Chain A
């Protein structure tokens, strides 16, 4: 008679009703809206959005929502289970006919829905950015969906840790550390990792002897006077070995998942694409034998053409996307946290954390 979903929904509504009836929650949401509004105004002024379109504003607001969502979500989710245990209401739920799986999943869904409320509150500003123009529908759909998934991942990690750790304060702190590890830790690992593995580049340069050109001039159709080749070496960081760290960054996941948008000269038109290009650029190994030949690129009118600069679009096109790897890692982490929490919270309990009461 109690279907799995019915019991699950009962736990979700019970959790939400307790959350929504606190003043603090509305204050938080209000502060959030004010912040997003302020950021939107500043972004419009900073990016000249009325002329260039809303791509930059839209992508920045999505990132801002992701930032605030991941900052608020641990506080709202990571005391879901151990907080109820402290309040003495977990055990009285566990002696009813809902299962531990329903309780843990229900609490996760409630925490996720709470985090999604922040995304919903930012919706007017996202719509505003879209009305500025130049934002493809696919970017809107994909970036919003992936942001929603990332908020679900944070909620799952929070609820999972609240089932594993005994003290609410501790599980909230650890959830923040996990969020920080994904958001900032991956950047640090990428930067330090790349810098610590360096390769030597040998650079050979053939320069035009400008002094001779200056004095004698070069008649049209003749070779310019060249200096003997100069060779030197220097070290470059090997980001191509560590770019995988960036794939696990939630901001990179959102940016890389959104369809790229370039203008006619191959330059990105929004923040997502700039980040995606940056991440994909670092996939490529640096050239370890560089040859720069000023003489060969000599043109009769005396100018030197620089022919091999690649546009960001070209870099983007010849690289592989990484967002699904990052998203898959996040989803696995979330599922693992929830499964582990279910096992640790299951009754009749086999073992109890030291000094804890089950009731």
Chain B
């Protein structure tokens, strides 16, 4: 099995350069988060991977095949969940899934069996024989996920899969994505909800202004100072202790406690040792933002400075 390989890919629409230079690899068995601000080219990149859009430059391999020259081979191995929710309005959930499986060349019997299996998997049993137009946004999202899985693909491209899902469905999605990866599939997930990706993805592709961040940029961004949130049962003691240790200048105090920018994990370890040593009743000591968000924010900040 081969995963996803993207090298030097660019795509412009007229004079809008949606993707300028995307390069990354996702190995089988891994879940990669595709992270970037609005309009950074995430959906365009996914459309190129999904064999719907021809790149202007660069090469793409999905499951070992080039979507430009071998779209049929790619499509047989790739499942795509679009960000735009569409469903055949007058077909029932079951019929929609059976039809999708038939469009992938499955026999009627195999398609029926697969549809039943997926309806259970995405928890749409009660709605299986209702027309898809009565589904809510989150339910449509689950149907869309089921459709992407209908031909048991080895590469999955999920564009904003969590949007519109309730917390239970989100947890289900996380577990499902992790399980699919553990079966040796390759998953690329784009999302705005970084906390969501944090728990699903084991690697990240940062896309900003149509350019993927290089590994050394990411490493550098990960090393920059980040905010830590400190909570204490006694805010006054916390403030005094921070002043005494020389953090009073940079710390921001609010009604939840304090936010302290720290350069490294070592600094964080020193600070908490100090606070505890000074007798401050610390109830919580954690990074204010997740790893992905930290890198993402830092990269976007640098992007703006460069521009």
Contact = CB atoms under 8 A, between A and B. Distances in A.
Contacts of A89: 86-88
Interface of A: 1-2, 7, 10, 14, 17-18, 21-22, 87-98, 347-350, 352, 354, 357-359
Given A96-B75, A96-B103, A349-B52, A354 B83 contact: no
Given A7-B103, A22-B90, A97-B72, A358 B53 contact: yes
Contacts of A7: 103, 105
B100 A348 contact: no
A97 B78 CA distance: 11
A202 B52 CA distance: 69
Most buried by B among A17, A93, A98, A348: A348
Interface string B74-94: 011010101111111111000
Nearest to B76: A97
A92 B82 contact: yes
Contact of B82 (A14, A91, A96): A91
Contacts of A95: 50-52, 75, 78, 80
Given A10-B99, A96-B100, A350-B54, 20 more contacts: A14-B88, A17-B95, A21-B90, A88-B85, A88-B86, A89-B88, A90-B86, A91-B82, A92-B100, A95-B50, A96-B75, A97-B75, A97-B104, A347-B51, A347-B53, A348-B52, A348-B54, A352-B13, A352-B53, A359-B52
A354 B14 contact: yes
Given A95-B78, A96-B75, A97-B103, A348 B91 contact: no
Contact of A347 (B52, B83, B104): B52
Nearest to A347: B52
Interface residues of B, number: 37
Contacts of A359: 43, 47, 52, 82-84, 86
A354 B15 CA distance: 11
A91 B103 contact: no
Contacts of A349: 52-54
B71 interface: yes
Nearest to A87: B86
Interface of B: 13-14, 43, 47-48, 50-54, 67-68, 71-72, 75-76, 78, 80, 82-91, 95, 99-100, 102-105, 147, 151
A102 B50 CA distance: 19
The main secondary structure of chain B at its interface with chain A is loop
Q: Please name the 6 residue pairs, one residue from A and one from B, whose CB atoms are nearest each other, closest first.
A: A88-B86, A96-B103, A348-B54, A21-B90, A2-B105, A88-B84
B277 to A, nearest CB: 57
B154 to A, nearest CB: 15
B89 A1 contact: no
A17 B91 contact: yes
10 contacts: A87-B89, A88-B84, A88-B87, A92-B147, A95-B50, A95-B75, A348-B52, A348-B68, A354-B14, A359-B84
A300 B43 CA distance: 97
A134 B78 CA distance: 63
Given A348-B67, A352-B13, A359-B47, A97 B105 contact: yes
A88 B133 CA distance: 13
A7 B43 CA distance: 28
B71 A347 contact: yes
A89 B84 CA distance: 9
Contacts of B48: 348
B190 to A, nearest CB: 13
